Structure 1
Amino acid sequence: MNSNPTPDRFSRNRSILALLLVVPLSSIGAISSTVVALGAIGQAIALGCGIGMLILPIGWQLVIDRQPLKWRWSQRDGLLAGTILGGMMFGLILASYWFAGRYWLDIADIRARVSQMGMNVPLMVFGFGTFQTLINSFIEEYGWRWFVYRHCQIIWSKTWAVWISAGLFTLHHIILLAAYCDDWRLVAVGAVAVFIAGGLWARCMQIYQSLLPSYISHLAADLALQMVSWHILLG
């Protein structure tokens, strides 16, 4: 049962509109960069969608909600929770790849697909990986947990908001997983992992009311994923 005061219909409709504007951006960027326009054009569209994920929530907060932007530091228990969760995700991702993923994945095929997208240059691989780890992980936490989860909470109960926001967060990851892997079983496993991670990060936001715990753990998870990517693409 939702302990929050029941929002009025206008607030719910406004939050639905907010989700309709922001949620599709990541999927549009993923489809553009992996299916519609491989190479620089697709990457430019994806970058534009990423910028939209950053700007639209800020604009909504200032113009529609008419509330100032605030940075909320987490208490020590939140930072500890984020660090422990991040360490567990880091270890699980690397162990899953080393003991299973490197045998199941068609590494030659992945390298060929990345080459088609023009993303196989070592400097680009490291540069993109660094951006994904340090910057994109924060943008995703800001967009999906601070904005999308918050509006899901207005529409649904707190519990449903956690898992619905996690499901929405998983959509564009399914597109990316399918673009690099033809095995639907691996796509399904990856999608479930992303869904669980998204739910845990939303739960962190719910408990600690700060982006830092989820950002710390997301950064650790992305660092592990980039290490896997470097091993796949560069040997």
Structure 2
Amino acid sequence: MKSTHNIYLIERNRSILALLLIVPITSLGALFSTVIAPGATGQIIAVCCGIWLLVFPLWWHVSVERQQLKLRLAPDGWAIGVILGLVMLSAILASYWSAGRYWLNIPDIRARVTQMGMNIPLMVFGFGTFQTLVNSLIEEYVWRWFVYRHCARLWTQEQAVWISAGFFTLHHIILLVAYCDDWRLVVVGSIAVFVAGVLWARCTKIYNSLLPGYLSHLAADLALQIVSWHILLG
């Protein structure tokens, strides 16, 4: 009994440490790239943070927990993923065309992106394609495969859904504040990201697969890239 309790405490402490070493990293990258050092320095730091997000969960899972790597992309729940994705894509585009483009300070956003050296059309399309196809999968791997699992060790699975979604929202709030002058966009955007995080974490909880979350995340990111292309390239 004592041994079981000790194992529980060790796993709990490991999960706390794992979350401390990964959750703030995205916020750190967002802060440096948009507020502290916009430009080449900030982008380099953001890239380093991105590499950490990619490598750290794998290293932790294999070296610290001594587990075999199992990223499950089984077809379970693919239909839900597609439906959710289409709903999210439609909602994002409708919100932008009906209100978002009037709330956004587009000249200011273009100036900030130019300051970061990201205003070249080919770079905009390349970055958008990467965000849609690759980064959406990386975020599911980080926030649902790694962060959600460790949250579930510290709280109930249902609580972990909401808490991991809250962690997922933090760096998006920083980006929204950096690029949006209108507080309405910050509030609405933050709520939308949080709700999406809850839905994707719930998909992982129900289907034990990253596929439904990835498919809907991909569609949501595609909508955001369409919006970005319109803002940056007219």
**Structure 1-normalised TM-score?**
0.94
- Alignment of structure 1 residues 217-228 onto 2, 5 Å: 217-228=216-227
- Per the alignment, residue 22 of structure 2 pairs with 22
CA distance in 1, matches of 2:130, 2:200: 20
- State yes or no: 1:52 paired with 2:44: no
Deviation at 1:186, TM superposition (A): 1.1
- Alignment of structure 1 residues 63-74 onto 2, 5 Å: 63-74=63-74
CA distance in 1, matches of 2:126, 2:177: 23
Deviation at 1:147, TM superposition (A): 0.1
Deviation at 1:107, TM superposition (A): 1.1
Deviations 1:77-123 (A, max 9, x none): x0001011011001110111011111121111111111111111111
- Per the alignment, residue 231 of structure 2 pairs with 232
- Per the alignment, residue 178 of structure 2 pairs with 179
Q: Secondary structure at the match of 1:68?
A: coil
Deviations 1:108-159 (A, max 9, x none): 1111111111111111111111111111111110000000000000000111
- Per the alignment, residue 3 of structure 2 pairs with none
CA distance in 2, matches of 1:71, 1:224: 26
Contact 1:74 1:213 (8 Å CA) reproduced:
no
Larger displacement relative to structure 2 (198-207 or 64-73):
64-73
Contact 2:152 2:160 (8 Å CA) reproduced:
yes
- Per the alignment, residue 36 of structure 1 pairs with 36
Deviation at 1:33, TM superposition (A): 0.5
Q: Output the amino acid matched with 1:157.
A: T
CA distance in 2, matches of 1:104, 1:73: 38
Q: Output the amino acid matched with 1:65.
A: E
Q: Output the amino acid matched with 1:82.
A: G
- Per the alignment, residue 143 of structure 1 pairs with 142
**Structure 2-normalised TM-score?**
0.95
- Per the alignment, residue 151 of structure 2 pairs with 152
CA distance in 1, matches of 2:48, 2:195: 27
Q: Secondary structure at the match of 1:8?
A: helix
CA distance in 2, matches of 1:52, 1:209: 25
CA distance in 1, matches of 2:36, 2:61: 32
Unpaired runs of 5+ in structure 2? 1-6
Contact 2:136 2:217 (8 Å CA) reproduced:
yes
Q: Cα RMSD over matched residues?
A: 1.3
CA distance in 2, matches of 1:72, 1:167: 23
Deviation at 1:198, TM superposition (A): 0.4
Deviation at 1:73, TM superposition (A): 3.4
Deviations 1:181-235 (A, max 9, x none): 1222211110000000001000000011111110010000000000000000100
Unpaired runs of 5+ in structure 1? 1-6
Larger displacement relative to structure 2 (182-191 or 56-65):
182-191
Deviation at 1:72, TM superposition (A): 2.2
CA distance in 1, matches of 2:70, 2:136: 19
CA distance in 2, matches of 1:50, 1:73: 22
Deviation at 1:71, TM superposition (A): 3.2
Q: Secondary structure at the match of 1:70?
A: coil
Deviation at 1:54, TM superposition (A): 0.8
Contact 2:103 2:182 (8 Å CA) reproduced:
no
The structure 1 segments of at least 4 consecutive aligned residues displaced by more than 3 Å after TM superposition are none
